[in-house]
Amino acid sequence: MSRPDWIALDWGTTNLRGWAMRRDGSVIEARTSDRGMGSLGPETFEAALREICAGWLDYGTVPIIACGMVGARQGWVEAAYTRVPCPPLSPSLTRVPGALDVSIIPGLSQADPADVMRGEETQAAGFLALNPGWDGVLCMPGSHSKWAHLSAGEVVSFRSFMTGELFAALATRTVLRHSVPAEGWDEDAFDAAVAETLSRPERLASALFTIRAKDILHGQDGARARSRLSGLLIGAELAAAKPYWLGQQIGVIGAGGLASLYVRALAAQGAPATQANATATTLAGLTAAWKQRTSS
């Protein structure tokens, strides 16, 4: 294997992903592990990093650029938030003390309404690197979905929505667990539910219980129940995020399934969105950070 010029790391709560990179931004080798920040203690951070980089560091020191929860207060070294409005990529990265040359991309914060992101700023930077001069709104679905308004190369404002975590908590930790299976999908039920909370968001709290009641009274199909829960929550998110996406150019960043649901729901509202691959976007953001560090 050729010697990497630098190493890209996406170190989140659940997963750790690493790429051995060439100077020109091409990938020599990619690896994924389940050693996310959430399962590690401070004494194991460096060992986990050396494990995912096995072989890549044999030729001597290699610059490592990292993003994600690695820079949180509960992470390896806290990378203080940069406050919006600002470019998604801070000009100053946070160095991890020690023998390894690790730099962390800081997350973004917003004063009012209070909000934070960590990891998504790198995706936003990558999206801008791949689409220079792009103005519009980025939707980044996930446990905590983020909507970010980008203009003139800066993140102007952003909002977080707990949609993914709400889905998981409702489907597994409430009475709905008896009616919502782990698998199964029904597009019509999803579409109808999105329309329902998008037009009448105040109905969410009561609409949720109808999923259980329909099962008790009519033995509602599990796939319908699961799609309806997803649609109700995504519809509520779209209702709340409407000031963001209405009349804007929209990019949805995400792999396959979940991001496709957002694109589908937005299309039904007459709001066409471009879907971008999350891994490619993250890697483009890490590459932009490496280039900035190298040129400065």
Give me the sign of the Cα torsion angle 33, 35, 37, 39.
Answer: positive
- Binding of residue 245 to its own copies (CB under 8 A): no
- Binding of residue 85 to its own copies (CB under 8 A): no
By C-beta, is 144 or 226 nearer to its own copies?
Answer: 144
Amino acid residing at 115: D
Binding-site member from 113, 132, 257, 270 for its own copies (CB under 8 A): 113
By C-beta, is 35 or 118 nearer to its own copies?
Answer: 118
For residues 146 and 122, the answer to whether their CB atoms sit within 8 Å is no
* Residue span binding its own copies (CB under 8 A) among the ranges 57-65, 212-220, 258-266, 285-293: 212-220
- Binding of residue 115 to its own copies (CB under 8 A): yes
- Binding of residue 36 to its own copies (CB under 8 A): no
Binding-site member from 99, 114, 152, 182 for its own copies (CB under 8 A): 114
- Binding of residue 61 to its own copies (CB under 8 A): no
Residues forming beta bridges with residue 18, ordered by sequence position: 9, 31
| In the block, residue with structure tokens 């100053």 | 92
Q: For the beta carbon of residue 112, count every other beta carbon within 10 angstroms.
A: 6
Q: How many residues bind its own copies (CB under 8 A)?
A: 48
| 3-class SS of residue 86 | strand
Give 213-221's long-range contacts (Cβ < 8 A, gap of 24+): 214/179, 215/178, 215/179, 220/179, 221/184, 221/186
Report, in Å, the least distance between residue 148 CB and its own copies: 13
- Binding of residue 56 to its own copies (CB under 8 A): no
